[in-house]
Chain A
Amino acid sequence: MKVGYYPGCSLTGTGKEYDMSLRKVASLLDVELEELKDWSCCGATSAHATNHLLSVALPARNLIIAKHQKLKELAAPCAACYNRMMVAAHELKTKPEIERQVSDLMGESIPYDLSVINIIELFQKVGKEKIAANVKADLKGIKAACYYGCLLVRPFKITGFDDAEQPESMEELIKAAGAQPVDWNYKLECCGGAHSIAHMEIVVDLSKKIIDDAKLHGADVIIVACPMCHSNLDMRQKAIKKEYPAHGDIPILYLSEFIGLALGLKPKELGLNLHFVDTKSLLEKAEIKG
């Protein structure tokens, strides 16, 4: 199976291990990821807050590249990239005036038969059965809290993905990987997003609530599908501990990392050593050697 691949900026920086693990897991599951040539910024956070036309034009440029590479599907593992591309495609489809302006800017029309998919949809295309058939490590003792955050399922009218209030799709994949998803309450709560830099205290507060609820429901690990969520939950645990000394660390894994562990890949190959919070507790419980 060949799928277009748009890593986005995070996956080349703070979320490097997301990119590493996804590429490894994809090759094990016979998925050929064809990276967009000369891809550019999706416009997340800044563009749509400043200029609406720009916020549509930036993703549109990448969609046009995908057209040139004759791709039918484009995987955007970063939830923010996925969201921006979905929103842009929706704007172009439903607002002829925007479509005309953006086409003028780009000098060509924007493809509509291209479907943008997120990381969960990518694994759904591979199939739960195929993942389960390739599982090497025994993770049945591991309890995982699947964290969707805000961008993956919302706005539901545009993404149309899973359920905006009670999503279950990531849990299905965790089950396919042989682990136990936990039923918890904070899988859609806000992690604070980009406030991580300017107002860290907000992120500390919000992330703590998410982590506490996951722990309350017995999770050994929180699974994320967004580099922003990952950095807030992973990187800010140190700050949480400073504020709340009783805080105990919990590893935060990308979905691709967790599936990679299940498929028998080494923690280092998946970039687990690049995390701020040590993943040792998880690896020991799963009896996986570093």
Chain B
Amino acid sequence: MKIGVFICYCGENIGRTVDCAAVAEAAGRFPGVVCSIDYKYMCSDPGQNLIKNAIKEHKLDAVVVGSCSPHMHEKTFRKACADAGVNPYLFDMANLREHCSWVHEDIVEGTKKAIDLVRISVERVKKNAPLSPILVPVTKKALVIGGGISGIQASLDIANAGFDVVLVEKEPSIGGHMSQLSETFPTLDCSQCILTPRMVEVYQHPKIKLLTYSEVENVEGFIGNFKVTIRKKARSIDESKCTGCGLCMQKCPIKKKAFNEFEEGLAYRSAVYVPFPQAVPNIPVIDRSICTYYQTGKCQMCVKVCGREAIKFDQEDTIITEDIGAIVVATGYKLYTIDKKPESSEIKGYGEYGYGKYKDVVDGLQFERIASASGPTSGEILRPSDSKVPKKIVFVQCVGSRDESKGFSYCSKICCMYTAKHAMLYKHKVHDGEAYVFYMDIRSGGKGYDEFVRRAIEEDGVKYIRGRVSRIYEENGKYIVKGEDTLAGMPVTIDADMVVLATAMIAQPEAVKLAQTIGMSYDKYGFYNEVHPKLRPVEVSTAGVFLAGACQAPKDIPESVAMASAAASKSLVLFGADYLEREPTVAKVNETICAGCFYCQKVCPYNAIERKEIKDRQGNIVKIIAYVNSGLCQGCGTCNAVCPSKSVELIGFNDEQIYAQINALG
């Protein structure tokens, strides 16, 4: 084997503490090395040309570069090798920078160590085998989980690029929290007006298969090749027949048994219902827990009035399986509730604000409904308890958020903005009303955001008080809000008619379950973790799965939409090629000696170990052994380390190669 060695100075980075010329000279005398060259910047074009020319001139079989970390330039040099006709895996990199020059001061010792590092690489590369990338076919269809604004945006972007999308939403309609909002900051444009066209577009898009009232049950496989099981819950309505006329809802005699989830409990809904009039699809669902037919077998009023025979009481859940290439997770958030919760729950509630017993102490989403033209009060600001106009209203920010005693130390990010919006909407509708906002800090970073808050204070006369609220209680029909004005250093008491609490955005209650189904990591609050907070913000550790919106952390609409488009573009990158190239450095099982103990399966972090049956000629199972799914394997080597019979080999990092390295130190 003819080996070429190339030593880089990395400017002064290596050159200062390592005598690179001496290293190159020493390496030239190693057995098998036919040429050894030093150069100032080996990663530069002339540097790479040095390698390429040497390969041709000396007919090299393998290349060793002594330079920086493989994280920096392994790809660069592998490509240079490949360009010149050497298999890129017959290349090895000695890290003379991070492992030597940056951490040592003495040039003599440093040079000695550098020579050792290069010798190790030379011995290793002698044992390397030519490898080629693993090609994995890609199913060009995306699964989007969650039909809020993030899921809608991601679905439309992918579908508009010409690829199929399966959009799964657990509620009967898409739209998410955005459909509940009245107006949006900082422009005060109507939320529904900008959202509903998008919802309709999703519904009508030929490339989007919309599955509402459905949940993802299982995800198997790997990037480009997921197999997804979806449970489509029984609506008890034949979707192909229903025209959405709404007669069944009008005539349903059960009117007050269930709170309307869309109205955040401020109104009731019938047993057969659509969440809101603009629902997509506009097909009702029967709530079996309250429907008289399911309780007593009687009623059937909806059947009588339905002209299309669309009511199907005996409809069952259906299980749908889909082959999927990329997954966009956009499951959104939930609001923290101030109610008292069972001890098992991490939510502690707010006893100081009455544990939710006061009707006119509402949360942010409830106020959105009260302020919304389509809401229970048709947009008039009225108290839920007695439908009177509140003349004095208090908004409290950071309820739950930034409050470690309640278990949530993070900032929910959007509350400063929506509270300013709420106070503004209130002042626009109740001209003689007084609005107070208790805040810790105003966090209004964003285009036009701070101007918006200033507008609430300066133009609309909202009174901002810096401080926390210690107690809220009811007295003679007023809500006594006791707080502190920390700027004035005074306690404050306000006898309000209504209080709005900006409660924390928290992870969905089933977020952890979905994370485990898909194989995503999550933080202690249940928000999904991205791979890198700055450079890979929409990817998760499982390849082919992307994040969009508030399931990753609290965020507002513009940010969610931007993230959704990013997740869509990541999916499209995947769909751009017919095959995925995967690193060939994966684990491989020696089938003749594997005893089938499956220790490897227990330790594999990527679920890449499968069971394989070995049969004799008659088709009888002789043994069951481990098999590595090379699509899933990331080449971490954990299985290799635990295998008691040494029957797992990590290609490119096998024992022979490691022993050669150790022996090189002699």
Contacts and interface: CB of A to CB of B under 8 A. Distances in A.
A243 interface: no
B351 A185 contact: no
A166 B475 contact: no
B476 A166 contact: no
A216 B476 contact: yes
A166 B351 contact: yes
A164 B351 contact: yes
Chain B interface size, under 10 / 10 to 19 / 20 to 34 / 35 or more: 10 to 19
A213 interface: yes
Interface in A238-262: none
Given A165-B352, A185-B474, 16 more contacts: A163-B340, A163-B351, A164-B351, A165-B350, A165-B351, A165-B355, A166-B340, A166-B351, A166-B354, A166-B355, A185-B473, A185-B475, A185-B480, A213-B475, A216-B475, A216-B476
6 contacts: A163-B351, A164-B351, A165-B351, A165-B355, A185-B474, A185-B475
Nearest to B353: A165
Interface in B14-52: none
Interface in A216-270: 216
Contacts of B480: 185
Interface of A: 163-166, 185, 213, 216
Contacts of B352: 165
B547 to A, nearest CB: 36
Interface in B372-402: none
Contacts of A165: 350-352, 355
Contacts of A216: 475-476
Nearest to B480: A185
Interface in B192-210: none
A11 to B, nearest CB: 30
Interface string B475-512: 11000100000000000000000000000000000000
A165 B356 CA distance: 13
B96 to A, nearest CB: 51
Contacts of B351: 163-166
A164 B350 CA distance: 10
Contacts of B354: 166
10 nearest A-B pairs in the assembled complex, by CB-CB distance: A165-B351, A185-B473, A166-B351, A165-B352, A163-B351, A166-B355, A185-B475, A164-B351, A216-B475, A185-B474
A169 to B, nearest CB: 14
Interface string B340-367: 1000000000111011000000000000
Nearest to A212: B475
Nearest to A163: B351
A213 B351 CA distance: 18
Nearest to A164: B351
A164 B473 CA distance: 15
B260 to A, nearest CB: 28
Contacts of B473: 185
Of A165, A185, A216, most buried by chain B (CB within 10 Å of CB) is A165
A164 B355 CA distance: 12
B195 to A, nearest CB: 38
A213 B474 CA distance: 11
Contacts of B475: 185, 213, 216
Interface in B307-365: 340, 350-352, 354-355
